[in-house]
Amino acid sequence: MRPDFWVVQTFNGLSYGALLFLLASGLSLIFGVMRIVNMAHGSYFMLGGYLGLTVALRTRSFAMSVVAATVAIALIGMAMERFFLRRLRGQDLGQVLMTIGFALIFQDLALLIWGGDPYNLPVPAALSGGLRVGGAVFPIYRIFIVGVAVAVGLGLWLLLDRTRAGAMIRAAVDDGEMAQGVGINVPRISLAVFGLGAALAALGGVIGAGFLGVYPGADFEVLPYAFVVVIVGGLGSLPGAMAGSLLVGLLDNFGKALFPELAYFTLFAPMALILAIRPTGLLGRA
Amino acid sequence: MIRRRALAAVIVVGALAALGPVLPAYPLTLITQALIFGILAMSLDVLLGYTGLPSLGQAAYFGVAAYAVALLATERQVGLLGCAAAGIALAAVTAAVFGVVAIRARGTYFLMITLALGMVVWGLAFRWVSLTKGDNGVSGVPRPELGALSLSAPLPFFYFALVTAAVSWTLLGLLVMSPFGLGLKGIRGSESRMEALGYNVWLHKYLAFVIAGIFAGVAGVLWAYYNGFVGPTDVQLVTSVEALLMTALGGPGTLIGPALGAGIIVFLKNFVSVYTKRWLLILGAVYIGVILFAPHGVVGAFRRPRR
Amino acid sequence: MIARVVRLIAMAVFALAGIAPGSAHAQSGPIKIGLLVPLTGAASALGKDMLAGTELYLDEINRQVAGRKIELIVEDTEGVTATALTKARKLVDQDRVAILTGGLLASTGYALHPFADAAKIPTTYPVMSSDDLTQRKPAKWVVRTGWNSSQSMQPFGEWVAKNLKYKKVATVGFDYAFGWETVGGFQRTFEEQGGQVIQKIWTPLNTTDFSPFIAQIKPDADAVFAVFFGRGSLQFVKQYAESGLKAKIPLIGNGTLTDESVLPQMGDEALGVHTALHYSAALDNPANKKYAKAFEAKAGKIPSYYAETCYTNMRWIVEAIKAINGKVEDREAFLAALKKVELKDFPRGPVVIDKWGNPVQNIYVRKVERVGGQLQNSVIFTYPAVSQFWKYNPDEFLKLPLYTRDYPPCKHC
Does A52 or A182 have the greater pLDDT score? A52
Which chains sit next to A, with 3 or more Cβ pairs under 8 A?
Answer: B, C
Domains and CATH numbers, chain A: 5-91+102-277 (1.10.3470)
* Confidence (pLDDT) at C315: 96
The whole-angstrom separation of Cα B138 and Cα B134 is 9
Nearest to A37 among B111, B119, B238 (CB): B111
Residue of C302 and B297 predicted with greater confidence: C302
Q: How many Cβ atoms sit within 10 Å of the Cβ of residue A184?
A: 17
pLDDT at position B306 over 50: no
Inter-chain CB proximity A5 and C215 less than 8 Å: yes
Please tell me the predicted confidence (pLDDT) of residue A71.
Answer: 97
Tell me which residue of C209, C275, C197 sits closest to C236, measured CA to CA: C209
Q: Using an 8 Å CB-CB cutoff, list chain A residues near B283.
A: 104
pLDDT of residue C128: 95
- Tens of pLDDT, residue by residue over B132-185, are 888 888 988 999 988 788 888 899 999 999 999 999 999 999 999 999 999 999
Among the partner residues A116, A137, A260, nearest to C202 by beta-carbon distance:
A260
Q: Confirm or reject contact between A65 and chain B (CB < 8 A).
A: no
Contacts of C202 in chain A (CB under 8 A): 260
Number of A–B residue contacts, CB under 8 Å: 135
The tally of CA atoms less than 13 A away on the side-chain side of residue C297 is 7
> Are C38 and C83 contacting, i.e. CB atoms less than 8 angstroms apart?
no
Say yes or no for a CB contact (<8 Å) between A227 and B112: yes
Q: How many CA atoms lie within 13 A of B301 on its CB side?
A: 13
Q: Is C210 on the interface with B (CB under 8 A)?
A: no
The ipTM value here is 0.87
Give chain C's residues under pLDDT 70.
Answer: 1-27
Instruction: Share the mean pLDDT of chain B.
Output: 89
Average pLDDT of A89-112?
Answer: 89
Looking at residue C4, its pLDDT comes to 54
Interchain proximity B129–C6, CB inside 8 Å:
no
Closest approach of A41 to chain B, Cα-based (Å)? 14
pLDDT for position A259: 81
Domain boundaries, chain B: 2-302
State whether CATH 1.10.3470 applies to domain B2-302.
yes
Strands C342-346 and C349-353, bridge-based pairing: antiparallel
**How far is it, in rounded angstroms, from Cα A214 to Cα A221?**
12
- Residue B8: closest CA among chain C residues belongs to which residue? C2
Of the partner residues C20, C106, C111, the one whose CB lies closest to the CB of residue B228: C111
Q: What is the DSSP string of C313-382?
A: HHHHHHHHHHHTTT-TT-HHHHHHHHHH-EEEEETTEEEEE-TTS-EEEEEEEEEEEEETTEEEEEEEEE
At residue C12, the pLDDT reads: 59
Chain C residues touching A215 at Cβ < 8 A: 42, 208, 231
Closest CA to A246 of A123, A108, A151, A149: A149
- Contact between C212 and A257 using a beta-carbon 8 Å cutoff: yes
Answer for the pair A238, C62: CB distance below 8 angstroms, yes or no.
no
Q: Report the DSSP pairing between strands C68-76 and C64-65.
A: antiparallel
Q: Which residues of C touch B152 (CB under 8 A)?
A: 118
Does the beta carbon of B161 lie under 8 angstroms from any beta carbon of chain A?
no
Average pLDDT, chain A: 87
Instruction: Note the pLDDT of residue B107.
Output: 79
Go through the domains of chain C in sequence order and give each one's CATH number: 23-148+285-357 (3.40.50.2300), 153-277+362-399 (3.40.50.2300)
Residues of chain B contacting residue A108, judged by C-beta atoms under 8 Å apart:
278, 280-281, 284
